[in-house]
Structure 1
Amino acid sequence: MSTDSTVQTDLLTLHTRVIQASIDIVDEVAPADLPKPTPCADWTLHGLLTHMIAQHYGFAAAVQGSAAAEPWKSRPLGPDPAESYRAAAEHARAAFAEPGALERQCPLVEFGPEVRVAGAQALGFHFVDYVVHSWDVAQTLGLTVYFDDEVLAAAHQVAAAVPGGELRLAPGAAFGPVVPWPEAVTLDSIVAMLGRSPSWPDPAA
């Protein structure tokens, strides 16, 4: 993905839209929904939300230059899951918008003690993660999340650059193997590229 300053600014704007969409869909979560299975293997909705919250705090710390492991750790969800999520999402959104954040070297300690990427690359990772996780939550709730054509085009570009092959089979891999799906710039094709079946929870998918 290009790191041209105009592209960075555009992606930051699209990232803001995605974070807001994720907040809006999590606002629909009721306590009774938390034990439900999700498209993320082995995670209930409760587990998915704690993961999403931890990733928000972890990426925020990284783009602020911190190499601490603590922000990446899961924490209790709290009595109001939507509010816990909103606070984390807003924190991450603000961190990426800080002056100079996209030019910093960001220590992504969750991926390895020596892993550092430019802030613009970290933004791309976080952006596509929350496109997919917004879809995960929506699917779990039986709802639909909508992204505009600009968001989908950018997410498709980032998803296409994610390495595939045996890396996707490793324990703890961020994404599963690609799911065969018609190639098009759609949300379904993006989640399929990153290991989700757009037909979930159809048992035959």
Structure 2
Amino acid sequence: MVSQNEGFTASARGAGEPWAVWRDGDLGDDPAGAYEASVDEVTAAFAEDDALERRFALPEVGEGFAVPGRTAIGFHLLDYVVHAWDIAVTIGAPWEPADELITAALRVASLVPEEGRGAGAAFRRRIAVPDDAPPGDRLLALLGRDSSWTPGPC
């Protein structure tokens, strides 16, 4: 999430196109501090005047792909909600986001283009789920995650 925070910060400020700003990954000697600093930076960038209307480059979605800030901030919300599932399932913790977060994330997930998905991409191909599946399961499936997945033995 540090890399995502840094990438969205750069993109909010018009410098998000190069992959390097999204993929640094250097947490230094203080990973928690690096995370906190990145949260402060992205929060400040999202709060800047006209941030909602600016164009944000999102190279993870596709080369040359850019969206209005309002949509990009929604994508970042989606990252947080779904990566929380990634972490929770990996460590065996419950994943219980508020209904409002799932609803908002579902709206954003439906906007993620199908092209460019697959192995090594930011998103996997969508997984079919029944129409009456719980909203959280539908959200995960839209991004190629199987809600029944569990980590294998280490």
Point out the structure with the larger helix share. Answer: 1
Matching residue's letter, 1:72: W
**TM-score, normalised relative to structure 1:** 0.63
Q: How many residues align?
A: 149
Query: Paired residue for 2:106?
Result: 156
Residues 1:195 and 2:144 are matched in the alignment: yes
TM-superposed CA distance for 1:108, in Å, is 3.1
**SS at the partner of 1:106?**
strand
Tell me the equivalent position of 2:85.
Answer: 135
Deviation at 1:109, TM superposition (A): 4.4
Give the Cα separation in 2 of the matches to 1:201 and 1:67. Answer: 34
Residues 101-180 of structure 1: pairs in structure 2 closer than 5 A: 101-110=51-60, 111-112=62-63, 114-164=64-114, 167-169=116-118, 171-180=119-128
The alignment yields a C-alpha RMSD, in angstroms, of 2.3
State the percentage of identical aligned residues. Answer: 43
Per-residue CA distance 1:45-65 (angstroms, 9 max, x = gap): xxxxxxx21121011111122
Partner of 1:78: 28
Question: In the superposition, relative to structure 1, how do residues 142 and 130 fare at CA in structure 2: closer, same or farther (>3 Å)?
Answer: same
Structure 2 residue runs of 5 or longer lacking an equivalent are none
Q: CA deviation at 1:149?
A: 1.6
Assess, with a 3 A threshold, how the Cα gap between structure 1 residues 162 and 116 changes in structure 2: closer, same or farther.
closer
The TM-score normalised by the length of structure 2 is 0.81
CA 1:80–1:155: 2 relative to 1, 3 Å: same
